[in-house]
Structure 1
Amino acid sequence: MKTIKLLVFALFFISSFSITAQDNPFKVEVFGKGEPILLFPGFACTGDVWEATVAELSKDYECHVFTFAGFGDVPAIEKPWLPKIKDELVKYISSNKLDNAVLLGHSLGGALALWIATENSAFKELIIIDALPSTGALMMPNFKSEYMVYDSPYNKKVLGMNDKDFESMVSQMASGMALDASNQEIIKDWMIKADRETYVYGYTDLLKLDLRNDLSKIDIPVTILAATEPYGIEMAKTTYNSQYKTLKEYNLELAMGSSHFIMFDQPDWFIENVLKALED
């Protein structure tokens, strides 16, 4: 009888642990010592996207590197995906007393940094990497957040794709995100390994997010590093200045000859400008 009770307890403990793990909206690894920097990756990426960045920054800073649920080896969570991640990031920041941290985010990660900063002005600064307050408005004319729903023909199509068709789709997408073929493969592999529902519904969450009017609440230094490919310098300037027009003050730096993954395409320029932003 005692053995049975112990077995039942062990099974309960294992089940409870699994549920807890699956409910965790992110994995975080900490490198280095010094003033804290929180590094948020882009959509479908793992924290490995920051490997070269952390190798440099961890010499002088404490780097908190995140991988979000459904990506890499982090189990998926129930939707709504993006609001849950944001809320748990806020809790992580509070419980670890990181309100004075630098928030550094790429793409989706940049949008998250902006979102969090609209609710808390205590952070030291934001460094935003090729990210917009409204991705949906960039992609769709006459955009409204309420148009973005989970139950859409496009979402059904992507959810129903076989592995071969999905790989073909993301291969084409990755080819426009970095200039070097080897980096395109890395990006493609991240997307292929992503939990499919997270990939579909999480992106719907991102498209739905519109922070343009809320940017006026941010009163800390903001540096934006923006890609110029494939649409050119003038289009990049127009897009960023339009989307960030309610932000009181920001420094926009353009990465010449770079696609979306600036840290891959222009690594020296990238780290130079990140360090400059941190030192200013």
Structure 2
Amino acid sequence: MNLTATFRPICSALLLTAAGLATPAAGLAAPVTAVAASADTPAAHPNFTVRVVGKGQPLLLIPGLTCPGAVWDETVAHYQKQYQCHIISLAGFGGTPAPASTDQLLLNVRDQLLGYIKAQKLHKPTIIGHSLGGFLALWLSSTQPGAAGPLVIVDSLPFLATVQNPATSAESAKPMAEAMRKQMSSGKMSVAAARQMSVSMMTDTARISQATRWSVASDPATVAQAYYDLMTNDLRQDVARIQQPVLVLGAWAAYKPYGSTKESTRAVFEQQYAKLPQHRVEMSEAGKHFLMWDDPQWFFNQTDAFLKQHAAAKK
């Protein structure tokens, strides 16, 4: 199996949502948030805001690169009668104000998320994270293994830099990541390029337009730093500390033109998650990177069954 050939298209989907970075173009509507909720913007977590919707056991939802919390609207609608949904929007993504500093961006987000869980007295909240959000869920859970409950990781990996070269280390990835950070910070990508990238990650035309709007409305420096942080942090060994059960939902259909198969893509996921004690990898048959949009029935069936099975893990 040629793992490098398999990794490359996955890298494009997982990381390069930011390809659409640019100054927002005329005629592009502002992002729409479909679910009304209370706002929370305390100084304790300046790198993100939170909307709280519903009642029940706590559930944190963390979006991916360039996406605000509204990417989870349908997921919130599905779970708000059973869970108190805490919907995270990272500063600088999807038109939200950029953070005051991007220094150690994702490390600060991780620590602020852990602080939020403690301050709000959330007892082992379930966490659902997409792409970058999945990485953050793994990172905070491996940092404080007792802080969270079951995790649902949507099309994300513990170390994304290896998609170009499986022998890559966090240190050796830095020169390439730094070059990409500089390029992405320039904000010169066009709306057309952003839309083309969205087409590779989702199927529905309306979703493609929405994701494109979020991408071009995001702060280039913030997204560039998030990309750098993703490429230079390796969690493959750290996930061994995660105590809770983890469901990993993977996509492969979009990579078929590159020679990938369901089996070869699953092998990539299994290799990356090999040290994670309690995990199960499931692969969507048809969904692209935004599985909660592209294959929603499968996404909810998998997640519902997993959460029902592991509800006791939170007690």
**Fold agreement, TM-score > 0.5:** yes
Partner of 1:125: 150
1:125–1:152 CA distance, 2 compared to 1 (3 A): closer
Q: Cα–Cα, structure 1 residues 89 and 76, in superposed 2: closer, same or farther, change >3 Å?
A: same
Equivalent residue runs for 1:1-280 within 5 Å: 24-77=46-99, 78-79=101-102, 80-122=104-146, 123-146=148-171, 147-148=173-174, 152-162=178-188, 165-231=189-255, 232-280=261-309
Whether the 8 Å contact between 1:26 and 1:69 is mirrored in structure 2 is: yes
- Looking at structure 2, the residues matched to 49 and 198 of structure 1 have their Cα atoms a distance apart, in angstroms, of 18
In structure 1, stretches of 5+ residues that fail to align are 1-19
Q: CA deviation at 1:229?
A: 1.9
SS in 2 for 1:67: strand
CA deviations over 1:68-121 (Å, ceiling 9, x no partner): 011134321212211111111111011111241111101100110001111222
Distance across 2 between alignment mates of 1:236 and 1:151: 24
SS of alignment partner, residue 100 of structure 1: coil
- Structure 1 length-normalised TM: 0.86
- Structure 2 counterpart of 1:179, which letter? T
**Secondary structure at the counterpart of residue 145 of structure 1:** coil
CA–CA separation in structure 2 for the residues paired with 1:95 and 1:215:
24
Q: CA deviation at 1:149?
A: 5.4
Q: Which amino acid aligns with 2:281?
A: L
Structure 1 position 172, deviation (Å): 2.2
The percent of aligned pairs where both chains have the same amino acid is 34
- Deviation track 1:105-143 (CA, whole Å, cap 9, x = no partner) reads 011001100011112222221111111101111234431
**Richer in helix (by share):** 1
Change (3 A) 1:32 1:112: same
SS at match of 1:90: helix
Note closer, same or farther for the CA distance 1:140–1:75 as it changes in structure 2 (3 Å cut). Answer: farther
Cα shift at 1:205:
0.8
Aligned residues: 259
Paired residues of 1:149 and 1:204 also in contact (CA < 8 A): no
Cα separation, partners in 2 of 1:73 and 1:168, compared to 1, 3 Å: closer
SS at match of 2:180: helix
2:253 partner SS: coil
Cα RMSD (Å): 2.0
Flag the 1:73–1:155 CA change in 2: closer, same or farther, 3 A: closer
Match of 1:6 in 2: none
- In the aligned structure 2, how far is the partner of 1:48 from the partner of 1:150? 31
1:224/1:152 CA distance change after superposition, 3 Å: closer
**TM-score, length-scaled by structure 2:** 0.77
Q: Secondary structure at the match of 1:65?
A: strand
Q: Do the aligned residues in 2 keep the contact of 1:150 with 1:204 (CA within 8 Å)?
A: no
Greater Rg over alpha carbons, structure: 1
Distance in 2 separating the partners of 1:209 and 1:150: 13
CA contact (8 A) 1:26 1:74 kept: no
- Asked if structure 1 preserves the Cα contact closer than 8 Å seen for 2:93 and 2:218, the reply is yes
